Amino acid sequence: MKRNKWLGSKLWALLLTIVLASFPLAGCGDTKDTEEPSSDTQEASEPKQEDTGASGDEELTITLVSPQVGNAWWQIAKKGFEDKCSELGVNAVYTGGDDHSVSKHIEAMETVLTQKPDAVIAMAIEPGSYDNILKKYQEADIPVVTFYSDATSEDLRLSYVGCDYEDIAKQEIEAIIAAVKEKCDDVPKLGVLVNTLDQETHMIRPEIYQKYMDENCPGGEVLAVEPTSGDSVTGADLLSSLTQTYPEMNSLICVEGESGPALGKVYKELNLADKNFCLFVNGDQAECLNAIRDGAYGSMAFDVYGAAAKAVEVIVANQKGEAVESSYIWPGLMVTADNLEETEKKFGFSN
């Protein structure tokens, strides 16, 4: 079990009080030898990369390891993470990979392991690939909260904060079926954009779409699944090229969060709304919501800010010796024209 700094500091303070009380006072004018040393002397350790939070007395450090540090979606997570760390008085360190690849992300986690933070928040992009690194964290007594994508086993992490992806996928395909029926009086001929072909939380979605349509919407078909690598330009190009390659395509779901804003712009430029094409994106950025105004059907919003803050709360509670749940399921919010204004208020967006 990793040493609990928050509880441990209180115990040392009590022992120190007992020890000092056992010594006689040296003299009325000589107090230097009996003054308690300032806790500021503990700040001499070398700072970690992007140390962005205020340090509390116990110097608890939590590191969020992102698979793509500059990604707009992860920047929202970073803000929620840092704000909650600041509120609770602990150090916040944000670091990670730069291209959303599994190899770069695990490499970043290996580096963080050598820095010995008190706890880590990380996404298991392709869960099976993370077993070894998570076992290393266990051996080092560093608890990990998996975020947005879980480990292969709950025994490999402290807790999970994120979505139930089967439920999310079901909501998405039900929405597309309804939209295509309304706009085209047809069944979905669907394109799907994912981040990478090895990201399990994305690749299970088209499988669920197809299975659901086989059972509930005969004739519905996933025509193509293409990766964007988290690049919005690639995502925009794919929307344009797929509609040419598959002229029968009447709908597209983008399950990665980076391309949503760019897809909204291309959707408008290509006049796809006039062609009754149903675009469904993932993201709660203002641009994604604005795409709905331009005719896109909807967006699956995930309160990544709140979820990142929750992950911090789980770690701090655990450090204090409090019981935490194995999983905290963070539901997605289906955004359409019907609840657009409500969503903007919820996430603090404005036109």
Tracing tokens 């309804």 back to the chain, one arrives at: 178
Return the pLDDT at 342.
80
* Measured CA distances, 76 to 11, 19, 91, 221 (Å): 37, 48, 18, 34
Give the C-alpha separation, 33 to 35, whole Å. Answer: 6
Return the pLDDT at 38.
33
**Amino acid at position 209, single letter:** Y
Give the C-alpha separation, 254 to 142, whole Å. Answer: 35
Return the pLDDT at 52.
47
Give the C-alpha separation, 265 to 336, whole Å. Answer: 17
Which conformational region is residue 163 in: left (phi greater than 0), alpha (psi within -120 to 50 degrees), or beta? Answer: beta
Nearest to 130 by CA among 139, 122, 140, 120: 122
* Measured CA distances, 45 to 40, 88, 330 (Å): 11, 21, 36
Give the C-alpha separation, 154 to 47, whole Å. Answer: 31
Return the pLDDT at 241.
95
**pTM listed for this prediction:** 0.73
The answer for residues whose C-beta is within 8 angstroms of residue 69's C-beta and 6 or more apart is: 94, 95, 96, 97, 98
Identify the three-state secondary structure at position 193: strand
Give the C-alpha separation, 333 to 346, whole Å. Answer: 11
The low-confidence residues of the chain, meaning pLDDT below 50, are 1, 3, 10-48, 51-57, 350-351
Rg of the chain taking only CA atoms, in angstroms: 25
For 288-326, write each residue's pLDDT tens digit.
777 788 778 888 888 889 999 999 999 999 999 999 999
Beta bridge partners of 192: 225, 253
Return the pLDDT at 348.
57
Return the pLDDT at 277.
92
Distance between terminal CA atoms of the chain? Answer: 49
Return the pLDDT at 141.
98
